[in-house]
Amino acid sequence: MTALLEVKNLSKSFGGLVAVNNVSFALEAGRITALIGPNGAGKTTCFNLVAGAMRPTSGQVVFDGHPIENAPPELVCRMGIARTFQIVRPMRDMSVLENAMVGAFSWTRSVDEARSTAYESLESVGLAGKANARTDQLTLPDRKMLETAKALSTRPRLLLLDEVMAGLRPTEAAGVVRVLRKLAEGGLTILLVEHVMRIVMEVASRVVVLHHGAKIAEGRPEEVVADPMVLESYLGAGFHA
Amino acid sequence: MKRWLAGGSVLVVLALVGALASPYLISLLTIVLLFTFLGQSWNLMLGIGGQLSIGHALFVGLGAYSVALLDVKYGVSPWIGLLLGMVIAGSAGAVLAWLSFRFEVRGIYFALLTIAAAEFARIMFGGWEFVGAMQGLFFPAPTGAIDISMLRGDARFYYFIALALAALGIVGTEMISRSYFGYVWRAMRDDEQAARALGVRAFRHKILVIAISAATAAVGGGILALVQGSIFPDSIMGMGLSVDVLIGPVVGGLGTTFGPLVGSLAAIPLNHLMSALGDCLRIPGLNSIAYGVVLVLVVWFLPDGIWPAIVRLGKAVQLPSRLWLLQPRKAEE
**CATH label of the domain that carries residue B189:** 1.10.3470
A32 inside 8 A of chain B by CB? no
pLDDT at residue A8, as a whole number = 92
Per-residue pLDDT tens over the stretch B289-329: 888 888 888 888 888 888 888 888 877 765 544 444 444 44
Given a contact cutoff of 8 angstroms between Cβ atoms, the answer to whether B237 and B121 are in contact is yes
Same domain, A52 and A96: no
Q: Is the pLDDT of residue A234 over 80?
A: no
Cβ distance of A136 and B330 shorter than 8 Å: yes
Assess if residue B320 is contained within a domain: no
Mean pLDDT of chain B: 88
Cβ distance of B197 and A109 shorter than 8 Å: no
Same domain, A106 and A217: no
Q: Is the pLDDT of residue B144 over 80?
A: no
Our count of domains for chain B comes to 1
Cβ distance of A78 and B199 shorter than 8 Å: yes
Of A51, A91, A101, the CB nearest to B197: A51
Name the residue in chain B with its Cα closest to that of A111: B180
Query: Nearest-5° angle of CA A29, CA A35, CA A40?
Result: 155
Cβ distance of A91 and B194 shorter than 8 Å: yes
What mean pLDDT is predicted for residues B154-164? Answer: 90
pLDDT at residue A49, as a whole number = 93
Give me Rg for the CA atoms of chain B.
Answer: 20
Q: How far apart are CA B151 and CA A29, in angstroms?
A: 65
Assess if residue B314 is contained within a domain: no
Given a contact cutoff of 8 angstroms between Cβ atoms, the answer to whether A198 and A177 are in contact is no
pLDDT at residue B317, as a whole number = 66
- Domain of A114 in residue numbering reads as 87-155
What mean pLDDT is predicted for residues B10-36? Answer: 86
Same domain, A133 and A204: no
- Domain of B64 in residue numbering reads as 2-301
Cβ distance of B202 and A74 shorter than 8 Å: yes
Cβ distance of A111 and B199 shorter than 8 Å: no
Assess if residue B229 is contained within a domain: yes
Q: Is the pLDDT of residue A239 over 60?
A: no
Same domain, A134 and A224: no
| Better pLDDT: B18 or B194 | B194
Q: How far apart are CA A147 and CA A102, in angstroms?
A: 11
Q: For testing the chain B interface, which of A91, A134, A154 should be mutated: the one with the most B CBs within 10 Å?
A: A91
Same domain, A62 and A178: yes
What mean pLDDT is predicted for residues A2-11? Answer: 90
Out of A168-172, B95-99, B210-214, pick the least confident. Answer: A168-172
Assess if residue B289 is contained within a domain: yes
Residue B333: list chain A partners with CB under 8 A: 134
Of A74, A93, A150, the CB nearest to B196: A74
The ipTM assigned to this model is 0.89
pLDDT at residue B131, as a whole number = 86
Given a contact cutoff of 8 angstroms between Cβ atoms, the answer to whether B258 and B170 are in contact is yes
| Better pLDDT: A134 or A198 | A134
What mean pLDDT is predicted for residues A217-223? Answer: 88
Q: Please, which residues have CB within 8 angstroms of residue A163's CB and are 6 or more apart in sequence?
A: A86, A193, A194, A195
